[in-house]
Amino acid sequence: MSTVLAGHGLIKKYGATTALAGVDVEVGERDSLAIMGPSGSGKSTLLHTLAGVIRPDEGQVLLRGERSEMGVPPAEVPQPSAGGAPRGRIDNLGENRLSALRRKRFGFVFQFGQLLPELPAEENVALPLMLEGTPRKQAVARARRWFAPLGLDGLEKRRPGQLSGGQAQRVAIARALVVEPDVVFADEPTGALDQHTSTEVIQLLTAVTRESGAALVMVTHDADVAAHCGRILHVRDGRISSHSQYTVG
Amino acid sequence: MRSSVLPLTWHLVRSSGRRGLQSRLLAAVVAAVSAFVLLMMIAVSLGSGERADRTAWRTPQAAKHGTAIEALATTFVRHEPVTVVSLAQLPGRKATPAPPGLSTFPKRGEVYVSPALAELMRELPADQLADRLPKPESYGTIGAAGLAAPDELVAVVGRAPSDPAVSKAAEGGNWYDKDRTARAVVAGFSSTEPSLFTGLDQQMAVLGVALLVMPVIVLAAAAGRLGAARREQRLAALRLAGATPRQIMAMTAAEAAAVGGAGALTGALAYAVLLPALAEIPYGVGGWYTGQLWVGLPWFAAVVLAVTALITVSAVTMLRQVATSPLGVAQQANPRRTRMIRLVLFAAVLGYVLFTTQGGQLGARQLVALLALFYGAFWLFGPWVVDRLGRIVGRYARRPATLLAARRLSDDPSGAWRTVSGLVLAGFVAGFFSVSQLQFGGPEQQGQVAVLTADSAATRRAAAEARTLLREAGVTATVTVPSEDDFGSSLGGSPGLIARVSGGQAQIDTAMTVLTPLGAGRLPFTQDYTNASDDVALDRIGVVSTATLVMSFLVAAVSAGLTAAANVLDRRRVYGLLRLAGTPLKTLDRARARETALPLAVLAGGTTAMGVYGAFQFNKAADSTMNASGALQLAVCVAVGTLAMLTAIGASRPLLRKVTAEPTQTAD
């Protein structure tokens, strides 16, 4: 399994608090990684650093390492510098390039509130494609393809407020996957759901992500949810305290 | 049981941190500005009325058992009007009371002048002004009670009953004498008819206020929305902790009322403290006596309470969702649809307004009432238009920014309407005033000094004398005697002579002064005198329109900026997450701008057209022609207003950048 995303020696501090104290992590193709840990352990900081939302104070984040077939314009992935900095490094990109990278290569699922309340479900899903310049009709058509696999048939025209929590999260999953990303980042994706719905959503998220060929990096505090992932990283005081590996069907 | 609402509200306010304090401070500042502007508008309206009342004593009111003759005359110096009141006690009659501003009735030969006139008389050579009045041993001073404004030029002259200045010849009677020259036997000074130079001030001020009040109300309401998102978050948590909807409402109301009340009171106090400075701002006959701009305690208190109430109601309305559902705004299930009845009501009101204005003869009160009705109708109609616009644009939008803007419009048409309503209504003001700059036709009589005489024989004698007097004074002029059927001259067909003066205004003022003795009871006059009523109307409309336009656009731009900032804060989570997922800031910004620009283009265009129509009716009522340069002024106004609005929205871009920059600044 080749590495899609890697973080090396990641350090991040907020004032006197060290959120990440030298973390190394790698995510492979179709890999699913759960990051667990108590509150304030640095798990969300790790996810956001890997996703290029937060810049580490030290260390590097590499997307597809040395490989050149990232699909993003070469300008967005720096070439090796004179000092020998590796290709694919994303932590030092400018804000605009990072935004473009997140939009094109990553998908995001959050606990709640990521859907625009005034857009119907299908337009929420189509939005990332439209932002990339796909014509609206085509974008909506592509978005609709995700509704049946995610059990959302018939809900295309509904607004987020007219969906249940589980349905809204499935729309968010569709939105994350519609751009065919390399990695889907999920931050407590089932945190606002009841246990039954939570299980449904996490099963869908892991299955559909794997089928689409993307890797999944998920932060959760729920061991049952984490158990659906192939690997679990336990983070404590900004360091990886343990690493478990499962075989997920 | 003692209510826990107030202590808890106070505790939450204190512990809300810097950002909470900032939004409250901003809301308080807006409340202060709203109260200040409202008080100023009321002050100008009431003060104009009081000023007009103070001039009424100069209009002679005939009494059955009169005791004195009062003659009103008007002359101009440097294009400024000088009111001359001649008084003569009739022999054998009861003593006439002193006119306002004087301690006694003036005796023959006594001359009282206003402080401003005294100063001008000192500044100008005697043959340009002072010599138009009798020369007393010393001048008395007219007190404030007899003056409309400190800058007013007024003289009171005590004369003998046989003096030509109080004779029948001083009655006037030509079309151009109306409200400028009059004479009657009076018993006192109880007339209620204000002078020509103050009579229109209040009407115009009230019209300006009527046009401005709505944008100011919108501004105050926008203040109530500031910090709504933060309150929502906090109060939603309280709801989950078991607070009842009533408690939530009470806490919101208490906080908004405290912030709004403190702001409104500060604004009101600023108005009171700044009164002396505000009194220096000229309107009509000049600056003000400070007391004239004091609205009185009832109005003072009413404005503070009204602004506080507006902000409170606005804040409580914003929180209705939280109060009814603990999950608050996240449960925004059904967009509020606007109904067709709004269109029907608007059409009905518009029809009524059009029908009522057909006659063209409308009083100021009717006009204000119609304006209020029109505004009310637009308040119903605006959201309906925004909703339809959102749906239509949403159907055809290709770009994400346009789609987002369109969906936002149809999702919350009332909110979008609130953002643009100030400028939309300002568009009406712009449309109304830009083309209602009245233009009156009339013969050009530049440089002509007219002297009225008793008859043709007197005219011939006077003409010869005039040539001598003008030559001796060094004034280059041609003296002619128009025929009595020449209605094109300044004399308008009355017997008299015309001196065509070469040179500037100083020469004309000198000619008027040296020719004064020839008038036999009437002061010489120029076109300043004959055109006075039109000039006053034009001047007041010009001043009020400029002030109203500038204020409207300022207020509208500020409220648009505030609403835009409040919207960013309201939607900070969704904006933050969108940006985190890679949505460019530019797209979010474009969507926000289009959210405003789309309804603005449609609605402001509509109201501007309405304003033009209103101005047309107004001009028709005033029997004047439309201003040709108005179209250009209108275009400039709309362009500046739109630019100001977009700049105000753009001003919240740093806020958007800040709230979306790093949505997860925690150590977790």
How far apart are the CA of B318 and the nearest CA of chain A, in angstroms?
Answer: 17
Instruction: Transcribe B563-615 into DSSP letters.
Output: HHHHHHHHTHHHHHHHHHTT--HHHHHHHHHHHHHHHIIIIIHHHHHHHHHHH
| ipTM attached to this prediction | 0.80
Q: Name the pLDDT band for B266 (thresholds 50, 70, 90).
A: very high
Residue B411 at interface with chain A, using a CB cutoff of 8 Å:
yes
Residue A39 has its nearest CB partner, among B397, B582, B668, at: B668
CA distances from B77 to B129, B130, B199, B447 (A): 7, 10, 21, 13
Q: Residue by residue, what is the 3-state secondary structure of B505-528?
A: HHHHHHHHHHCHHHHCCCCCECHH
State the pLDDT at residue B91.
93
Break chain B into its structural domains and give their ranges.
1-53+200-333, 60-186, 340-440+532-668, 448-530
User: Interface of chain A against chain B, CB under 8 Å?
Assistant: 14, 17, 19, 39-45, 48, 51, 53-54, 96, 99-104, 106-108, 110, 112-119, 123, 127-128, 130-131, 135-136, 159-162
Cβ-based neighbour number of residue B340 at 10 Å: 8
The answer to whether B248 touches B238, Cβ cutoff 8 Å, is yes
State the pLDDT at residue A70.
31
State the pLDDT at residue A193.
84
Binary contact (A136, B397; C-beta < 8 A): yes
Cα of first residue to Cα of last residue in chain B, in angstroms, is 42
* pLDDT cut 70: percent of chain A above it: 89
Q: Which residues of chain B does A131 touch, with a Cβ-Cβ cutoff of 8 Å?
A: 400, 582-584, 587
Q: Name the pLDDT band for B664 (thresholds 50, 70, 90).
A: low
- What are the φ and ψ backbone dihedral angles of B135, each rounded to 5 degrees? -100, 105
Average of pLDDT values for B36-46? 94
Cβ-based neighbour number of residue B344 at 10 Å: 13
pLDDT, one tens digit per residue, over B601-615 is 888 777 777 777 777
Residue of B232, B332, B580 to mutate when probing chain A, most A C-beta within 10 A: B580
CA distances from B611 to B160, B416, B606 (A): 54, 22, 9
Binary contact (B412, A118; C-beta < 8 A): yes
Binary contact (B574, A112; C-beta < 8 A): no
Q: Which residues of chain A does B662 touch, with a Cβ-Cβ cutoff of 8 Å?
A: 53-54
The answer to whether A102 touches A94, Cβ cutoff 8 Å, is no
Q: Which residues of chain A does B583 touch, with a Cβ-Cβ cutoff of 8 Å?
A: 99, 103, 127, 131
Burial A110-124 (b: 16+ CB within 10 A, else e): bbbbbbbbbbbbbbb
- Candidates A10, A209, A204, A177; CA nearest to A105 is A177
State the pLDDT at residue B364.
67
Q: Which of B172-176, B435-439, B506-510, B562-566 holds the top average pLDDT?
A: B506-510
Q: Does residue B12 have a pLDDT over 80?
A: no
Average of pLDDT values for B102-130? 94
Q: Check: CATH 3.30.70 for B448-530?
A: yes
* pLDDT cut 90: percent of chain A above it: 54
- Give me chain B's average pLDDT, please: 83
Q: What is the DSSP letter of B295?
A: -
Amino acid at A74: P
Q: Does residue A69 have a pLDDT over 50?
A: no
Binary contact (B578, A116; C-beta < 8 A): yes
Question: Among all residues of chain B, which has the CA nearest to that of A137?
Answer: B398
Q: Which two tokens stand for residue B309?
A: 């109430």
Q: Which of B85-94, B595-604, B622-631 holds the top average pLDDT?
A: B85-94
Residue B589 at interface with chain A, using a CB cutoff of 8 Å:
no
Binary contact (B584, A131; C-beta < 8 A): yes
Q: Does residue A75 have a pLDDT over 50?
A: no
Least confident of A124-128, B50-54, B618-622: B618-622
Host H or E run for residue B140: strand B139-141
Dist. CA B408–CA B261, nearest whole Å: 32
Q: Residue by residue, what is the 3-state secondary structure of A103-169?
A: HHHEEEECCCCCCCCCCCHHHHHHHHHHHCCCCHHHHHHHHHCCCCCCCCCCCCCCCHHHCCHHHHH
Q: Name the pLDDT band for B336 (thresholds 50, 70, 90).
A: low
The answer to whether B360 touches B617, Cβ cutoff 8 Å, is yes
Pairing assessment for the beta strands B154-158 and B111-113 based on DSSP bridges = antiparallel
Binary contact (A114, B581; C-beta < 8 A): yes
The answer to whether B146 touches B54, Cβ cutoff 8 Å, is yes
Binary contact (A118, B330; C-beta < 8 A): no
Host H or E run for residue A217: strand A215-219
Dist. CA B22–CA A234, nearest whole Å: 40
Q: Name the pLDDT band for B52 (thresholds 50, 70, 90).
A: very high
Pairing assessment for the beta strands A215-219 and A231-236 based on DSSP bridges = unpaired
Q: Does residue A66 have a pLDDT over 50?
A: no
Angle at B229 between CA B228 and CA B231, to 5 degrees: 65
How far apart are the CA of A119 and the nearest CA of chain B, in angstroms?
Answer: 6
Question: Among all residues of chain A, which has the CA nearest to that of B397?
Answer: A136
Residue B582 has its nearest CB partner, among A42, A100, A117, at: A100
State the pLDDT at residue B1.
44
Of B364 and B102, more confident: B102
State the pLDDT at residue B540.
86
Question: Among all residues of chain B, which has the CA nearest to that of A101?
Answer: B582
Q: Which two tokens stand for residue B112?
A: 């009282």
CA distances from A164 to A147, A170, B335, B605 (A): 15, 10, 17, 42
How far apart are the CA of A248 and the nearest CA of chain B, in angstroms?
Answer: 27
Q: Does residue A18 have a pLDDT over 70?
A: yes
State the pLDDT at residue A77.
45
The answer to whether B108 touches B558, Cβ cutoff 8 Å, is no
State the pLDDT at residue B322.
52
How many helices (H) and strands (E) chain B has is answered by 22, 9
Q: What's the pTM?
A: 0.74
Q: Does residue B196 have a pLDDT over 80?
A: yes
The answer to whether A127 touches A106, Cβ cutoff 8 Å, is no
Residue of A44, A47, A116 to mutate when probing chain B, most B C-beta within 10 A: A116
State the pLDDT at residue B290.
94
Residue B666 at interface with chain A, using a CB cutoff of 8 Å:
yes
Q: Which residues of chain B does A100 touch, with a Cβ-Cβ cutoff of 8 Å?
A: 582, 584
Q: Which residues of chain B does A107 touch, with a Cβ-Cβ cutoff of 8 Å?
A: 581
Total beta-carbon pairs less than 8 A apart between chain A and chain B: 110
Binary contact (A108, B668; C-beta < 8 A): no
How far apart are the CA of B400 and the nearest CA of chain A, in angstroms?
Answer: 6
Binary contact (A108, B667; C-beta < 8 A): no
Residue of A118, A158, A162 to mutate when probing chain B, most B C-beta within 10 A: A118
Q: Name the pLDDT band for B316 (thresholds 50, 70, 90).
A: confident
Q: Does residue A249 have a pLDDT over 50?
A: no
Q: Does residue B444 have a pLDDT over 90?
A: no
Binary contact (B668, A14; C-beta < 8 A): no
- Candidates B405, B349, B403; CA nearest to B380 is B349
Q: Name the pLDDT band for A81 (thresholds 50, 70, 90).
A: very low
Q: Check: CATH 3.40.50.150 for A30-52+94-245?
A: no
Q: Does residue A80 have a pLDDT over 60?
A: no
The answer to whether B312 touches B256, Cβ cutoff 8 Å, is yes
Average of pLDDT values for A171-195? 91
Residue A45 has its nearest CB partner, among B577, B583, B667, at: B667
Q: Name the pLDDT band for A6 (thresholds 50, 70, 90).
A: very high
Q: Does residue A153 have a pLDDT over 80?
A: yes
State the pLDDT at residue A74.
39
Q: Does residue A138 have a pLDDT over 80?
A: yes
Q: Name the pLDDT band for B60 (thresholds 50, 70, 90).
A: very high
Q: Does residue B437 have a pLDDT over 70?
A: no
Q: Does residue A71 have a pLDDT over 50?
A: no
How far apart are the CA of B236 and the nearest CA of chain A, in angstroms?
Answer: 15
Residue B577 has its nearest CB partner, among A14, A19, A113, at: A113
Q: Which residues of chain B does A159 touch, with a Cβ-Cβ cutoff of 8 Å?
A: 332-333, 335
How far apart are the CA of B288 and the nearest CA of chain A, in angstroms?
Answer: 53
State the pLDDT at residue A73.
38
Handedness of CA B180, B181, B184, B189 (dihedral sign): positive
State the pLDDT at residue B627.
61
Q: Name the pLDDT band for B440 (thresholds 50, 70, 90).
A: low
Dist. CA B523–CA A145, nearest whole Å: 93
Dist. CA A84–CA A119, nearest whole Å: 46
How far apart are the CA of A239 and the nearest CA of chain B, in angstroms?
Answer: 12
Residue B410 at interface with chain A, using a CB cutoff of 8 Å:
yes
pLDDT, one tens digit per residue, over A99-137 is 888 888 999 998 876 788 888 999 999 999 998 889 999
Break chain A into its structural domains and give their ranges.
30-52+94-245
Binary contact (B666, A42; C-beta < 8 A): no
Residue B573 at interface with chain A, using a CB cutoff of 8 Å:
yes
- Candidates A12, A5, A8, A9; CA nearest to A237 is A12
Q: Which residues of chain A does B410 touch, with a Cβ-Cβ cutoff of 8 Å?
A: 118
State the pLDDT at residue B625.
60
